[in-house]
Amino acid sequence: MNTVLGNEEFRAALFRLGDLVAARAPDPLAILGIRRRGVPLAARIRRRLESAGRRDIPVGELDINLYRDDVHDRGIPRIGETRIPFALEEHHILLVDDVLFTGRTVRAALTALSNFGRPRSVRLAVMVDRGGRELPIAADFVGLRVEAGDGDMVRVRVEEEDGEDGVVMLPRGDAAA
Partner 1 sequence: MRHLLGIRGLTPEEALGILDEAPRYQDVADQPVPRVPVLVGRTVTHLFMEPSTRTQASFQLAAKRLSAEPLSFVPKSSSLTKGETFLDTARTLASMAPDIVVVRSAESGAPHVLAREIPTAQVINAGDGISEHPTQALLDAFTIRKHLGRIAGVRVTIIGDLLHSRVFRSNARLLTMLGAEVRCCGPPTLVPPGLDRLGVRSLLHLEEALEGAEAVMVLRIQHERMHASFIPTEREYYREFGLTGERLARTDNAIVLHPGPLNRGVEISSEVADGPRSVILDQVRNGVAVRMAVLAEIARSSPRSQRTDG
Binding residues for partner 1, rule: CB under 8 A, are 66-67, 71-76, 78-82, 114-117
Q: Cβ distance 104 to 67 under 8 Å?
A: no
Q: Which helix (H) or strand (E) holds 77?
A: none
Local structure of 17: helix, strand or coil: helix
Residues 21/125, Cβ–Cβ less than 8 Å: yes
Q: Confirm if 114 and 122 have CB atoms less than 8 A apart.
A: no
Closest distance of CB 115 from partner 1, Å: 4
Q: Assign residue 20 a region: left if phi > 0, alpha if psi is -120 to 50, beta otherwise?
A: alpha
CA torsion 58-159-143-13 (nearest 10°) is 110
E strands, the chain, in order: 2-5, 29-34, 59-62, 92-100, 121-129, 141-145, 152-157, 166-171
